[in-house]
Structure 1
Amino acid sequence: MAFIELNDYLVRLSQMRFAPNRWNGFFLLATDGTLCTLPTAKPVVEHFGQWHGRQGDPCPKARVSQLYDVLNHITVASSITSKCIGERELAAAHCAHLGPEDLLLLDRGYESFWLFKLIVASNANVCARVSCNKLKVVKAFLQSGEPDRIVKLSCTPNSARKCAEFELDKKPLKLRLIRVDLPTGESEVLITSLTDRGKYPVEIFGDLYHQRWPVEEDYKVMKSRIQIENFSGKTVHSVYQDFYAKVFTKNFAAVLIQSVSNRIKTITSGRLYSYKANVTNVLAMLRHHIVVLFNRMQDLLCENVSKIQNLIVRVLNEIRPSRSEPRAFKKKSRRKFSTAYKPIS
């Protein structure tokens, strides 16, 4: 599909033309998934499947997954598939985009020997949160009171089948367990392929893992701002086309913001807080310009992009660090799109 290829080119362009943010030399990536409500149409239901909830009629659903650059706010790869395909399998497909300069952050739902093995086989590194009561090596580590420990993770019978599927060897993996003490008094355990204690001390990992949070926030942008569940047609083709077109638009906005980052720093230097571009504002501008950009000659294209960049630096948001609010779990609204977040259309 054209938008997938355009997105791949845009990601490569952003890495070549700008100075992307890195963590200790790594591109900091995270993968996560969500469910997406689809149009109620027979071909869509047959292709993607339905969600049978406890109440109401069955609802067509797809599973969405993305490989997200959390420091540069770019979706490196994305997929929309049948809901029957699990998040780990979709994460495995994203491994084709990994390389030696990448560090992949994973949440607890992704912990598995075969997925860690696949990431390492892709010449990338991994840091994942693991359950404290599933693996024996993790239980023993917690009981020891040590801040970190180098362990050999063995292949399980379930992982053996997946290793055979991906043509991976079943040799134990040398990984590092790290204890992170939380403000609540509890401890969480991370597992990572970064085993060099001198280069990667224990103290850096608590903040590192929590840097995966932007991938969660990006789904808020996708569902509330660009409304990926608001499809223009009721065919399988339109579902794919709308989804990948909106991912490309979101990435185009991120690259435009990246292109004026130095200007924003210069304009706001000397102020109390740091500032960043207003993403919703940029997406709203692109809604009126992106089709025109595809049809302009090079000189007019550069002129239009320059105008958009000038508009971006005029609407900025303060970055106020160390803010923390308790999560309020309210009764789920029946509204399709939340009024709490401003859409771009």
Structure 2
Amino acid sequence: MSSKDYDTFTTARWKGYRVFGGDGSTLNLPASKQIRGYFRLQSNCSKTSLARIRPVYDVLTGLTLQTRLGRMSTGESGLLNDCLLKIPPRPDDLLVLDRNFGTFHIAHKMTCEGRHFCIRMSTGISNFAKAVMADSRMDFITEWVPSRSERETAKTSETIRVRVTKAVLDSGETELLVSSLQDMESFKNEELVELYGMRWGVEEGIKNLKPKIKVEQFGCRKPQGIYQEFYAHILAMNMLALAGIATNEQLEKKEGPVKRNGN
């Protein structure tokens, strides 16, 4: 789906933002010589291959705006970058990412591109994470000074200004969020925690794609066919989502606004 087409259909927002969730998953591929040659063999026991997928999903409308399928050797960051190349930065877009993307170079890239973001970080994976976890404050704005390895990865020594938000989960684990939403009056601590929880929508989208639509039941045995079938399934998911949007619009005309998250 192109960004222009998407702008025509989407209306649901959270505090004025269109909320995109990003997540990754894998697909089991048919066992054939051509597929093994292209995607590479993942298991000598099963003689099967895997592909990596990365959708960018609107958690409020159910639309998949962009998605990529690639070899397992393609990093998740690379697939996300490919998706974002097709999504021009907008001040009213907000990208929510899991802790696989809780790194300086991702936050720096989003900041430089003018993209709003909310990313979960692993609490002990970097010096920055350890430092902010040691801070007694639960919600504050700080400078992220990159470490030597982070400077090498991001190819910059620039610092970025980010907001750090911590929340203690029912399990006792502390959730660490880094975001660009620095207006602490407009975006309360608990609202950012709620925002990150909305990322679950992309998990549901992947469940629809795999167990329900059964994307892994490929009928082809060649790499080109894998791509064709995969994107045909994404098209089918978007057609269903558009039908849902149209239905909600009709219900709103008859019965008033349909309640959505964040509205």
| TM-score for the superposition, normalised by structure 1 | 0.69
Q: Secondary structure at the match of 2:177?
A: strand
Deviation string for 1:255-303 (max 9, x for gaps)? 111011033456777xxxx899xxxxxxxxxxxxxxxxxxxxxxxxxxx
Residue 116, structure 1, aligned to residue 97, structure 2? no
Amino acid at match of 1:70: V
- What is the match of residue 185 of structure 2? 198
Picking from 171, 176, 192, the partner of 2:163 is 176
C-alpha displacement of 1:47 = 1.2
Percent identity between matched residues is 25
Residue 60, structure 1, aligned to residue 52, structure 2? no
Determine the C-alpha separation between the residues in 2 that align with 1:119 and 1:198: 22
Q: Secondary structure at the match of 1:64?
A: strand
2:103–2:121 CA contact under 8 A, matched in 1: no
Structure 1 pair 38/154, CA: closer, same or farther in 2 (3 Å)? same
Q: Secondary structure at the match of 1:89?
A: helix
Q: Could you say what the CA RMSD is over the residues aligned between the two structures, in angstroms?
A: 2.4
Relative CO higher for 1 or 2, CA cutoff 8 Å, sep ≥ 6?
2
Residue 249, structure 1, aligned to residue 239, structure 2? no
Determine the C-alpha separation between the residues in 2 that align with 1:239 and 1:203: 42
Number of aligned positions between the proteins: 259
C-alpha displacement of 1:92 = 2.1
Structure 1 pair 208/275, CA: closer, same or farther in 2 (3 Å)? closer
- What is the match of residue 142 of structure 1? 133
**Greater alpha carbon shift after TM alignment, 221-230 vs 73-82:** 221-230
- What is the match of residue 94 of structure 1? 83
Residue 126, structure 1, aligned to residue 117, structure 2? yes
Q: Between Structure 1 and Structure 2, whose CA radius of gyration is higher?
A: 1
1:106–1:127 CA contact under 8 A, matched in 2: yes
- What is the match of residue 25 of structure 2? 34
Determine the C-alpha separation between the residues in 1 that align with 2:225 and 2:149: 37
Q: Secondary structure at the match of 1:151?
A: strand
1:30–1:212 CA contact under 8 A, matched in 2: yes
1:21–1:27 CA contact under 8 A, matched in 2: yes
- What is the match of residue 4 of structure 2? 12
Residue 208, structure 1, aligned to residue 195, structure 2? yes
Determine the C-alpha separation between the residues in 1 that align with 2:64 and 2:134: 39
Deviation string for 1:210-237 (max 9, x for gaps)? 0000111111110122211111211111
Determine the C-alpha separation between the residues in 2 that align with 1:78 and 1:19: 17
1:141–1:149 CA contact under 8 A, matched in 2: no
Structure 1 pair 78/19, CA: closer, same or farther in 2 (3 Å)? closer
| TM-score for the superposition, normalised by structure 2 | 0.89
